[in-house]
Amino acid sequence: MQETNEPIPDATPASTPRRSATLPPGVLFAGAALLAFLLTVALFWWNARPQTYPLRMTAGDKLGRRFQIAQVLAREVERYQVRVSFAETGGSSEALEMISAGKLDCALIQGGIGTQPHVRQIASIAQEPLHLLVKRELADGVTARGLPALRGKRINLSTKGSGTRRIATLALDFADLHAGHDFTDEDVSYKQLEARAYIHLPDALFTVSLIPSPVVERLVHKHGYVLVPIPFARALSLRHPTLHEVTIPAFAYGVTPAPTPPTPLTTIGTQLLLVAHDSVPDEAVKHLLEATFDGNFSRDATLPGLTESGSLSTPEMPIHPGAIAYRDRNEPVVTSDFVQGLEDGKSLIISILVAGYFVYRWWRQRRYSGFDVYMGEVTRIERAALVLEAEATPDVRELMRLRNELGEMKTNALEKYTRGELKSEELMSAFLTHVADVRGYLSALILAERERISELSRDTLPDAEQTARFRAEWERSKK
């Protein structure tokens, strides 16, 4: 009797397929840590290296007191690797426009003249009084009657584009004096004033400057000009908050040939401001402030009242971030406001931590997503095989369908694993072992049923007829 047996499938679990060549996670983490360390060292070295900051600066006319102060500041800040180069401008208004346009980096300017885009305040240095000087023959009349005594005279309001011209115009407008109608407006620079003879000098002139002003000293001692008060300074300051009532002390410009002034004079004052473009690096701004308040600047520039505490107390324009960092440099990292903020945000922090925990759980679960589905399907096939085995004559056709379905499921799972859609080598190994067990069980059931069919004709029929009947029974069982 001839027997045709199909080969029994190998029940040995298939080895876990090799995934595409990738570095182990440990090597990747070590490489990332090394790269982060090297980047940190490079960044630390880059920030720690000495840096030079070139700054283009202006302080108005080179003959003015403001320019002298700027030169002292430039010498002080040089030891902080800040190199200052100077450009001469017609005044504070022009300096603001040039900084706003990016043509200059910083400037010492007169306050009270507004601001411009991209201009940021660094510090307030001191108060600059508005000096009103008149020729000696006009002094008594102006002192007695005030500014209206200048009606019909030639008045120098300083050069166009200067802050002095703007403040002087405010004072004259308050006194109801208007250029071209009540007086002759002269536009004369300090250098031109030096070159003119007394007869060609204006009857009166304004200049905003710290005391002592080199220009005022020359006019008083060389030409006999007299300082006169601006009695309505307090009233004007109420209309313009950036203006202040200040006093020029008696004898500020000497006692010979005559005391100048013989008594304290009331006048208008503005703040001397250090300003910069908003693109100037914070470190450069901090160095400017260190040179201003931590060195010998106040002594060499003759600014005895200079203090850091009042430098940003009443800003006239937005403050530069570098100035804020310098001001807050000694503030503790953990403040009462910070602690209170933590207390207030306690529930938010806890919510974030809980949400982070669930996100982490979801991420870990996502690594195993897919295997639970495949494991469930293999178990379903195994249970179906157990049901068929309990029958008297198992349906070979159904057993073979289950085995084919199991094979397709295995192939699909391997393809997803190779593409990285399924994670975890341990779960893949367990899955393949489970598949191999169920496949071996199905193959054993199919083989047993085949042997049962063969036994039907083994004893009573010739070999050829047994074979033909066996094949017929086998084919019928598969249909």
Domain assignment present for residue 162? The answer is yes
Residue 172 is encoded by which pair of tokens? 């004259």
CA 157/CA 375 separation, integer angstroms: 94
H/E run at residue 126: strand 119-134
pLDDT at residue 12, as a whole number: 45
* 272 close to 110: Cβ distance less than 8 angstroms: yes
Domain assignment present for residue 414? The answer is yes
Look up residue 140 and give its amino acid.
D
Bridge partners for 271 per DSSP: 127
Give CA separation, 443 vs 22, 89, 194, 451, in Å: 37, 100, 117, 12
Residue 459 backbone dihedrals phi, psi, to 5 degrees: -95, -25
The answer to whether the bond into 304 is cis (omega within 30° of 0) is no
Residue span of the structural domain in which 392 resides: 25-30+368-478
Q: Are residues 267 and 130 in the same domain?
A: yes
Residue 84 is encoded by which pair of tokens? 């200052």
At which of 204, 237, 271 does a domain end? 271
Give CA separation, 232 vs 35, 77, 181, 267, in Å: 69, 40, 22, 8
How long, in residues, is the chain?
479
Q: Are residues 381 and 264 in the same domain?
A: no
H/E run at residue 129: strand 119-134
Residue 199 is encoded by which pair of tokens? 């007869």
* 301 close to 73: Cβ distance less than 8 angstroms: yes
Domain assignment present for residue 43? The answer is no
| CATH number assigned to the domain comprising residue 149 | 3.40.190.10
pTM of the predicted model as reported, rounded to 2 decimal places? 0.60
The answer to whether the bond into 212 is cis (omega within 30° of 0) is yes
Domain assignment present for residue 107? The answer is no
Residue 394's SS3 state is coil
Domain assignment present for residue 342? The answer is no
pLDDT at residue 9, as a whole number: 46
Domain assignment present for residue 349? The answer is no
pLDDT at residue 156, as a whole number: 94
Our separate counts of H helices and E strands in the chain read 17, 10
Domain assignment present for residue 433? The answer is yes
At which of 228, 253, 271 does a domain end? 271
Looking at beta carbons, which pairs linking 170-177 to residues 24 or more positions away fall under 8 Å? Answer: 170/236, 170/240, 170/243, 171/130, 171/132, 171/147, 171/206, 171/230, 171/236, 171/268, 172/147, 174/232, 174/235, 174/236, 174/239, 175/146, 175/147, 175/148, 175/232, 176/148, 177/147, 177/148, 177/150, 177/151
- Give me the number of domains the chain comprises: 2
pLDDT at residue 16, as a whole number: 47
Q: Are residues 131 and 253 in the same domain?
A: yes
At which of 222, 239, 271 does a domain end? 271
pLDDT at residue 336, as a whole number: 61
Q: What is the CA radius of gyration of the chain?
A: 48
Mean pLDDT, 10 residues at a time, the chain of 479 residues: 46 47 62 80 71 91 87 93 90 91 94 91 93 95 93 92 90 94 90 88 94 91 93 93 93 86 94 94 93 88 84 87 88 63 68 73 61 82 85 81 88 82 76 87 84 66 58 57
CA 472/CA 475 separation, integer angstroms: 5
Domain assignment present for residue 247? The answer is yes
CA 355/CA 357 separation, integer angstroms: 5
175 Cβ partners below 8 Å, 6+ apart? 146, 147, 148, 232
Query: DSSP readout, 54-106?
Result: EEEEE-S-TTSHHHHHHHHHHHHHGGGTEEEEE---S-HHHHHHHHHTTS-SE
